[in-house]
Amino acid sequence: MNELITPSDIVLRLVVATVAGVILGLNRDLHDKPAGVRTMGVIALAAACAVLCVLLADPSDGALSRVIQGLVTGIGFVGAGVILHTPGDRRVHGLTTAASTWFAVAVGILSAVGLWWVLLVAGLLCLLLLIFGRDAELWMHRLIGGPPPDVPALPDAPDRPSNDRGD
């Protein structure tokens, strides 16, 4: 067992992972998307638990690397569950929520290994993207003269901007 990580460190890392996951999930909840506060909090907490198990039991770099690879790969199945494609609509719904679940794993990993500054900067950047990304995306499309992101780029497509991208 790794004596350098104290019980208070473990509690701190688990709490930070959970709180950061909950903050990420709050954004999804506020936009009425799947995988909200509870889901993101649990994903981040689970990732932190898995990484802490390795850090406490076998702190070798190889073991930690394998656990992180498994977490990042495994969360893809959860993310795939929130992605929907409506036939005939040409839009895919749930991509941002799927990406958020993937980021929740990173939150747990960063918390577990104690990379606080990386967690803070990455968390702020993620929240900025989630909060202001849609407006920035629409502004950039207007700037370059392209169709709004919700309108398929087909010659016979109606000019109808949508308020709900579904991601």
- pLDDT: which is higher, 84 or 156: 84
Backbone angles phi, psi at 84, to 5 degrees: -125, 145
pLDDT at 51 exceeding the cut of 70? yes
Query: What gap in Å lies between CA 23 and CA 1, rounded to an integer?
Result: 32
Question: Which range has the worst mean pLDDT, 6-10, 27-31, 144-148, 155-159?
Answer: 155-159
Q: Tell me the whole-structure pTM to 2 decimals.
A: 0.68
pLDDT at 65 exceeding the cut of 80? yes
pLDDT at 2 exceeding the cut of 70? no
Domain boundaries, the chain: 7-144
Closest by CA to 151, choosing from 161, 142, 143, is: 161
- The confidence score (pLDDT) of residue 18 equals 92
Percent of the chain as helix, strand, coil, to the nearest 5 = 70, 0, 30
